[in-house]
Amino acid sequence: MTTPIPEEHIPAPAPQPRKRLSPVIWAVYGLAVLTGVIHLAAVFSPAFADWFNRYIGAAVRAAMAYLTGWIPFSFAEMLIFSLPLIFVLLLRVAVTRYSGSWREVLRYCAGLAALLLCFYILFVWGFGTGYHASTVEEKLGLDRQPVSAEELEQTARYLVERIEIERDDITYRPDGFSVMPYSHSEMNDLLLDAYDVICDRCPFVQRLRSNIKQVILSEPWTYTHIAGVYTYFTGESNLNMNFPDYTLPYTAAHELAHQRGIAREDEANFMAFLVCIESADPYIRYSGYLNLYEYVASALYSADPNRYYAVLATISDDMRGELIAYSAFFDQYRETVVSEVSGAINDTYLKLQGTEGEKSYGRVVDLAVAWYQTLD
């Protein structure tokens, strides 16, 4: 039987070294500070915002688009619908590995904060400075001014004339909707070709070959009133395929404009119009003219209902049927709690970027009138 070692002779256990934050986390914090400086510089200097958005931002957007472009579905959509699972996994890791002491809890929270800061970093470096760049009307030399009811009527009449010209090559279904005569991928290629034309004329528009991602759960998305969205954190332009055909090319061109650094909503709307009417395809031109007409007609109705009805009396039965069919389609999604919540979130986000919130979409009307006046 061995003699036990006296307790006073048993060496004390070596103290465990304190676990410190990973160098990666510290690097993220440092980059976040630099990003904040860049963000402030863009807010106070449109010239800096233009430079950063055109060169640094373009490189980041292109890299993100190429990283996710090979995925046949919307990676952003998958991430969004995986959020409950991600939350459960993060909670499980927190409980099983980081709940032993307050120091471990703080280390875990620091890691989560670094992860969230990555989204801020991607936003500023890839997209956010575009909100503070010089305006599209400045770049295009347009004289954007408050518009009168007469100017709205003139612009609306011109758009109706163009729609009637393109309508000759359009097929309509019995329910009133027009038919897009090609596949989603063919539409994508036609829009990219039209963007190449715009890029030749407008150097501030980034030249990029990319794919519009179809949203798989388009029907549920429609209840949010979201027709398309650019997700800067994946570099994807996403399109809700549940909307009528005539809206798809214009909406896709709008999201592709965001992907090319056109951040403000009214400017993305206007760029989508310019791209569509430069297309060699009559249906894409029809989509551009008709979608812009809806914005102008809505503003005209608010300014002078009599002038609005005078223009409405000149449209063809096919065009009238398309608009009536769309109104009937949207009735089932018009007033929902989901749309109110998503609208409030989008409005808040846009206001935080220094815009007029969701009202900024409709400000494309001012650009449309300014553009029409250059045609005289």
pLDDT digit string, tens, across residues 192-201? 999 999 999 9
Per-residue confidence (pLDDT) for residue 200, from 0 to 100? 93
Domain ranges of the chain: 23-132, 138-373
- pLDDT at site 111: 82
pLDDT in tens, 296-321: 999 999 999 999 999 999 999 999 99
Q: Is the pLDDT of residue 206 over 90?
A: yes
pLDDT band of 92, cuts 50, 70, 90: confident
Confidence of residue 324 (pLDDT cuts 50, 70, 90): very high
- Per the prediction, the chain carries an average pLDDT of 89
For residues 245 and 233, give the distance between their C-alpha atoms in angstroms, rounded to a whole number: 28
* pLDDT tops 90 at residue 363: no
Q: Judge contact between 137 and 367, C-beta under 8 A.
A: yes
Q: pLDDT grade, residue 87 (50/70/90)?
A: confident
240/40 Cα distance (integer angstroms): 34
Write the burial class of residue 100 (CB in 10 Å: 0-12 exposed, 13-18 middle, 19+ buried): exposed
What pLDDT shows up at residue 299? Answer: 92
Q: Are 214 and 78 in contact, with CB atoms under 8 Å apart? A: no
pLDDT in the model for residue 338:
67
Whole-angstrom distance, CA of residue 5 vs CA of residue 10:
7
pLDDT at 100 over 70: no
Contacts of 180 by beta carbon, 8 Å cutoff, 6+ apart: 187, 245, 246, 248, 249, 283
Q: Which helix (H) or strand (E) holds 358?
A: none
Summarize pLDDT for 13-63 with one digit per residue, the tens: 555 555 667 888 889 999 999 999 999 999 999 999 999 999 999 999 999
Task: Please write the tens of the pLDDT for every residue from 250-299.
Answer: 999 999 999 999 999 999 999 999 999 999 999 999 999 999 999 999 99
- Spatial distance between the Cα atoms of 291 and 289, rounded to a whole number of angstroms: 6
Other residues' Cβ atoms within 10 Å of the Cβ of residue 354? 10
> In which residue are the tokens 């005289």 written?
376
Q: How many Å is the Cα radius of gyration of the chain?
A: 26
Helices H / strands E in the chain, number of each = 17, 3
**Phi/psi-derived region of residue 176, left when phi > 0, alpha when psi is between -120 and 50, beta in every other case:** left
Mean pLDDT of 123-150: 93
- As a whole number of angstroms, the distance between CA 226 and CA 128 comes to 20
Residue 225's CB is within 10 A of a number of other CB atoms, namely 18
Banded pLDDT at 7 (limits 50, 70, 90): low
* Whole-number pLDDT of residue 94: 67
% residues pLDDT > 70 (the chain): 89
What one-character DSSP code corresponds to residue 73?
Answer: S
What would the mean pLDDT of 113-128 be, rounded to a whole number? 94
Residue 134 has, within 13 A of its CA and on its CB side, a CA count of 13
- In angstroms, rounded to a whole number, what is the distance separating the alpha carbons of residues 180 and 269? 20
**Mean pLDDT computed over 338-356:** 70
Distance, in Å, from the CA atom of 270 to the CA atom of 253, rounded to the nearest integer, reads 10
pLDDT value at residue 214: 95
